[in-house]
Amino acid sequence: MRVSVVIPVKNDSRALASCLAALAAQTVAPDEVIVVDNASTDDSGDVAAAWGARVLYEAEPGIPAASTTGYDACRFDVIARLDADSVPPPRWIENGLARLEKEPGVDAVTGPGRFYDGPARGSWMLGALYMGAYFHSMRLALATVPLFGSTFFLRRSVWREVRGSVHCWGTDLHDDVDLSIHLTPRFTIVYDTAVWVGISSRPLTDWRTFAYRMHRGFQTLALHWPASSSVLRWRHVLLRSLAAPTSR
């Protein structure tokens, strides 16, 4: 099983360099690293090229467009997603591929982030609360495990199936939540702590930034209402469980 790593970036060259350095130290090397430069005005593209990444340019603003450009360009079996400020531990790729190889019925694997910056005391607890709030609230809203854009592995064949339905443009959407909505209920997403990555606490340092992230989350859910409302999604889960054959 071979893997393409996709990293969208906009004006974040210093963090990107740390991310690419961590990828270079993986126990299982990626078969390709695709960095999508979303109209950066800094040297993000040059940094990516210096690390040997395949650099693509996407002028349309927003992570949805940049991510889509990267996913479409992938050449291998699995799409692995990182943010520019993600720092994957050495066995990140190894663990993600192992889960997909072990369980053919699993279509995507995601995991948590752990803050590597912020206050010396309490950063672990803050990260746990942040991740817990995200996964539990989205689980309730989506009736499934949500993808976390800072770290996930997705079979490329699955991306090709849902490509035509995902929202590929805009700046007011969370692309990972949107993709999660379109993956289910047909496909299976699992949560695995073995694919954790280091993440930045920057989204929590400014209340305006945090509020905007919350707004984008609600905006993404509202975009799919009522056709993919929480009530309908949980109803589908219940009906599917009732229809499943019982073991004796």
Tokens in use for 41?
A: 């005005």
- 156-187 tens-digit pLDDT: 999 999 999 999 988 889 999 999 999 977 89
- 62-91 tens-digit pLDDT: 999 999 999 999 999 999 999 999 999 999
* Rounded mean pLDDT, 93-109: 98
Distances in Å between the Cα of 42 and the Cα atoms of 23, 46, 89 are 21, 9, 26
Residue whose tokens read 């997403």: 189
Tokens in use for 120?
A: 């010396």
Residue whose tokens read 């109209």: 39
Contact 224, 217 (CB under 8 A): no
The pTM (predicted TM-score) of the whole model is 0.92
**DSSP bridge pairs for 5:** 33, 80
* Residue 187 pLDDT: 92
- 186-226 tens-digit pLDDT: 899 999 999 999 999 987 777 788 888 888 888 999 888 88
* Residue 234 pLDDT: 86
Of the CA atoms within 13 Å of residue 140, those in its CB half-sphere come to 5
* Residue 46 pLDDT: 98
CATH 2.40.30.10 fits 3-240, yes or no: no
**Share above pLDDT 70 across residues of the chain, in percent, rounded to a whole number:** 96
What pLDDT band is residue 248 in, cutting at 50, 70 and 90? very low
- 18-75 tens-digit pLDDT: 999 999 999 999 999 999 999 999 999 999 999 999 999 999 999 999 999 999 999 9
Question: Measuring CA to CA, which residue among 112, 118, 91 is closest to residue 198?
Answer: 112
Q: Domain ranges in the chain?
A: 3-240
What pLDDT band is residue 122 in, cutting at 50, 70 and 90? low
Judged against a pLDDT cut of 60, whether residue 112 lies above it is answered with yes
**DSSP bridge pairs for 80:** 5, 153
What pLDDT band is residue 120 in, cutting at 50, 70 and 90? low
* Residue 240 pLDDT: 80
* Residue 119 pLDDT: 64
